[in-house]
């Protein structure tokens, strides 16, 4: 897929507003506590060494009763304890519940990612077209509003969260959300004919790690973190 292409479960994801740097909650398929409980359950039967290898993490502690897998989440180390699925970080006092759920889903999967990948938009993930309008309002439009007049600011904001430049649009950054999941944020500047435009791109292997609802949440997280970083530039 070229950078000019437009990106693209059974329940419609409800995404929070990211225009002010807010982090989106998970879609409302159930309440947060139940969703986290369900996400923690697989940790009791999974092999932490196997999951760590699959996801680019490492086992940092292993005992008879438990193991701890550490991996990076937006360049911040997070620890997941087996078998109870508790998520903590040595650097962050509290991880939000929707972020914990996303971390658990990433580590708890078993699908094999394809060897060949390409960049795709949200419309191209499974059922993404059905949810695209909501995703555009919550991720693409806020990015275009904030960075459309000065795309170079996207590069500056990205640098603050450890994101490097990417070869898309008038400006783009590559955000490493997880060890094996990177997300691109792309901005096309406004001109005399067209308004500013922005999009979030994913690797086509994304659905080996996340369902469509999780992908929507991840895209909103990327947009929210970039917009929050932009505010620190002023």
Q: pLDDT tens string for the chain (234 positions)?
A: 433 333 333 333 333 344 444 444 434 445 889 999 999 999 999 999 999 999 999 999 999 999 999 999 999 999 999 999 999 999 999 999 999 999 999 999 999 999 889 999 999 999 999 999 999 999 999 999 999 999 999 999 999 999 999 999 999 999 999 999 999 999 999 888 889 999 999 999 999 999 999 999 999 999 999 999 999 986
* Nearest alpha carbon to residue 187 among 121, 141, 230, 233: 141
CATH number listed for the domain at residues 119-231: 3.30.310
Instruction: Provide the residue ranges of all domains of the chain, joining segments of one domain with +.
Output: 32-107, 119-231
Look at strands 164-165 and 76-82 and give their pairing: unpaired
Q: What is the pTM of this model?
A: 0.85
CA distance 9 to 28: 12
CA distance 160 to 166: 15
Paired tokens of 51: 């999951």
Q: Give the orientation angle of helix 152-160 with respect to helix 212-231, to 10 degrees.
A: 100
Paired tokens of 223: 């947009």
On the CB side of 160, how many CA atoms lie within 13 Å of its CA? 15
């Amino acid at each position: 897929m070229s950078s000019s292409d437009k990106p693209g479960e059974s329940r419609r994801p409800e995404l929070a507003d990211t225009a002010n740097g807010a982090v989106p909650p998970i879609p409302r398929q159930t309440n947060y506590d139940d969703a986290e409980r369900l996400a923690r359950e697989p940790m009791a039967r999974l092999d932490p060494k196997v999951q760590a290898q699959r996801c680019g993490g490492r086992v940092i502690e292993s005992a008879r009763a438990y193991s701890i897998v550490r991996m990076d989440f937006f360049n911040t180390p997070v620890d997941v304890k087996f078998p109870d699925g508790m998520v903590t970080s040595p650097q962050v006092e509290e991880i939000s519940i929707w972020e914990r759920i996303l971390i658990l889903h990433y580590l708890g999967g078993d699908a094999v990612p394809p060897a060949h990948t390409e960049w795709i938009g949200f419309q191209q993930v499974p059922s993404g077209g059905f949810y695209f309008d909501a995703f555009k309002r919550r991720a693409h439009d806020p990015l275009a509003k904030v960075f459309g007049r000065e795309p170079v600011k996207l590069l500056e904001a990205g640098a603050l969260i450890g994101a490097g430049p990417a070869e898309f649009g008038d400006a783009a950054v590559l955000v490493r959300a997880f060890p094996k999941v990177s997300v691109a944020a792309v901005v096309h500047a406004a001109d005399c004919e067209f308004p500013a435009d922005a999009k979030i791109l994913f690797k086509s292997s994304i659905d080996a790690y996340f369902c469509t609802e999780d992908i929507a949440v991840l895209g909103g997280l990327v947009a929210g973190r970039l917009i929050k970083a932009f505010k620190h530039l002023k």
